Amino acid sequence: MISVGEPAPDFTLPDQGGQEVSLSDFKGHRVLLVFYPLDFSPVCSDQLTLYRDIAPQLKEAGVTPLGISVDSAFAHKAFQDQLGIDTTLLADFEPKGAVASAYGAYLDSAGHSNRSLVLIDADGKVEWVHETATPLDIPAPNLILNAL
Query: Does the pLDDT at position 44 exceed 80?
Result: no
| Domain span including residue 107 | 12-147
Report pLDDT digits (tens) over 81-119: 999 999 999 999 999 999 999 999 999 999 999 999 999
The CATH number of the domain holding residue 28 is: 3.40.30.10
User: Does 73 reside within a domain?
Assistant: yes
User: Does 53 reside within a domain?
Assistant: yes
SS3 content of the chain, % helix, strand, coil (to 5): 30, 30, 40
Q: Give this prediction's pTM.
A: 0.96
- The residues assigned a catalytic role are 44
